[in-house]
Amino acid sequence: MERELALEFVRVTEAAALAAAPWMGKGDKIAADQAAVDAMRAVFDTVNIKGTVVIGEGEKDEAPMLYIGEEIGCSDSPELDIAVDPVEGTNLVAKGSPNSLSVVAAAKKGCLLKTPVWYMKKIAVGPEANGAIDIEATPTENLKSVAKAKGKNISDITVILLERPRHDEMIKEIRNAGARIKLISDGDVAGGIATALSHTGVDMLMGIGGAPEGVLTAAALKCLGGEIQGKLHIRNEEEAQRAREMGVDDLDQIFTTDDLAKGRDVMFSVTGITNGELLKGVQYHGDDQVETHSIVMRSKTGTVRHIKAHHKISQKPSYFKDEINTF
């Protein structure tokens, strides 16, 4: 059942990527996201699960589909928590920039953290440095620890983080310590996963990014043997109160990989929309052939599958809107 579901989740992320790809570079991130949401939701209707969206497009009054709390799937079992990001990096698609992804994570009911606020301070590494990070330590201390764990000099360590003014001091300290930096405009799920894949050349992720993205990253790293630590980044009293109402008594709590994605049975699927170091994006071949590249993984077995799929699109699936005539 779990093997079958893992492949079903690939169908879900493939559909979202295929629907978003025609909007690449057209400057309309809302249209790209909506197309992906429609496609993802339609395919979820065919998957034999009783899923509840715990990370999604927002609250019910903000999103008509894939909203937090929505039930998806076409069966009474298994009961699963579902975390989705139909387009991780909507700005990246709109600009035609690299590393936009479609992402789904799943775990048994109650195993994926329902994030009470939008932002989280994070640090993440791959399996070689699992156990070598401490979110309470300084960037320099973490660099030294990760370099030692990986048998590298600090000058050989590459840190990925979002290019934001809030990271200016962190960037300065990382550079002063001698490490290399890769700045990204969006897409810190891709950055987190990259730490666990040797071909990306990324060793660590640091900084403040999305809290929902932290849960998705945790699900992926749980499957890949990496580690993430996070602390909620609370900006005001309203967010503090929301966190308390959702059961977070200690606002300074450090969330580990297992806090964000609990249990042994975590599944993660990701399909590339635009080309990037992690995955190739959607590729068009002639008038009726499209190629997608995906990764699907399971924490229970540690299996990581790379899937290249060819789709014949002369007959568009029902989840493609009529107005999307690129095909």
Q: What is the pLDDT of residues 39-91, one digit of tens each?
A: 999 999 999 999 999 999 987 767 789 999 999 999 999 999 999 999 999 99
Domain tally, the chain: 2
The helix (run of H) or strand (run of E) holding residue 158 is strand 158-162
Question: Which residue, 210, 259, 261, is CA-closest to 105?
Answer: 261
- 238 and 150 part of one domain: yes
Residue 263 is assigned to a ligand binding site: no
| Residue 110, annotated as binding a ligand | no
316 shares a domain with 208: no
Q: What is the CATH number of the domain that holds 99?
A: 3.30.540.10
Contact 189, 217 (CB under 8 A): yes
Q: Is residue 264 a known part of a binding site?
A: no
Check residue 116 and give its pLDDT.
83
pLDDT, tens digit, 9 for 90 and up, residues 87-131: 999 999 999 999 999 999 999 999 999 988 889 999 999 999 999
| Residue 85 assigned ligand-binding role | yes
pLDDT of residue 1: 53
Q: Are residues 185 and 287 in the same domain?
A: no
Backbone angles phi and psi of 262, in degrees to 5: -85, 160
Q: How many CA atoms lie within 13 A of 254 on its CB side?
A: 10
Counted residue by residue, the chain has a size of 327
**How much is the pLDDT for 62?**
75
Instruction: Tell me which of 245, 260, 275 is where a domain ends.
Output: 260
Beta strands 304-312 and 79-88 are unpaired
Question: Does residue 33 share a domain with residue 104?
Answer: yes
Whether the CB-CB separation of 229 and 253 falls below 8 Å is answered with no
Q: What is the average pLDDT across 284-295?
A: 91
Residue 106 and residue 50 share a domain: yes
Nearest to 136 by CA among 259, 231, 256, 248: 231
Question: Both 256 and 269 in a single domain?
Answer: no
| Whether 105 and 135 share a structural domain | no
* Arithmetic mean of pLDDT over the chain: 92
Per-residue pLDDT band at 323 (split at 50, 70, 90) = very low
pLDDT of residue 134: 98
> Residues 30, 99: one domain?
yes
pTM for the full model? 0.93
- CB-CB contact of 290 with 9 (8 Å): no
> Taking a C-beta distance cutoff of 8 angstroms, is the pair 227, 125 a contact?
yes
Residue 315 reports pLDDT greater than 80: no
165 among annotated binding-site residues: yes
Measured distance between the N- and C-terminal CA atoms of the chain, rounded to whole angstroms:
34
Range with the poorest average pLDDT among 18-32, 33-47, 280-294: 280-294
CATH number of the domain where residue 226 is located: 3.40.190.90
Q: Does 64 appear as a known binding residue?
A: no
Q: Determine if residue 187 is labeled as part of a ligand binding site.
A: yes
Tell me if 247 is assigned to a ligand binding site.
no
Known binding residue 186? Answer is yes
Q: Which two tokens stand for residue 45?
A: 């209707």
Which structure tokens are listed for 157? 């360590």
Q: Is 164 annotated as a binding residue?
A: yes
Contact predicate 120/211, CB 8 Å: yes
The mean pLDDT of 150-169, rounded to a whole number, is 97
Residue 20 has a pLDDT of 97
User: Is residue 67 a known part of a binding site?
Assistant: no
Residues 211 and 278 in one domain: no
Q: What is the mean pLDDT of residues 287-293?
A: 91
Residue 277 annotated as lining a ligand binding site = no
Each residue of 172-224: pLDDT tens digit?
A: 999 999 999 999 999 899 999 999 999 999 999 999 999 999 999 999 999 99
pLDDT exceeds cutoff 90 at 283: yes
Q: Are residues 97 and 150 in the same domain?
A: no
**Better-predicted residue by pLDDT, 2 or 152:** 152
Q: Is residue 33 part of an annotated ligand binding site?
A: yes
Query: 195 and 231, same structural domain?
Result: yes
Domain of residue 177 covers 119-260
* Mean pLDDT of the 244-251 span: 87
Is residue 214 marked as binding?
no
Structural domain ending residue among the three candidates 260, 278, 302 = 260
Residue that finishes a domain, picked among 260, 294, 311 = 260
237 is in an annotated binding site: no
User: 132 and 238 share a domain?
Assistant: yes
Q: Which is it for strands 50-55 and 289-298: parallel, antiparallel or unpaired?
A: unpaired
Q: What three-state secondary structure class fits 240?
A: helix
Cα torsion through 230, 65, 185, 305, rounded to 10:
70
pLDDT score recorded for residue 322: 41
What per-residue confidence (pLDDT) applies to 231? Answer: 96
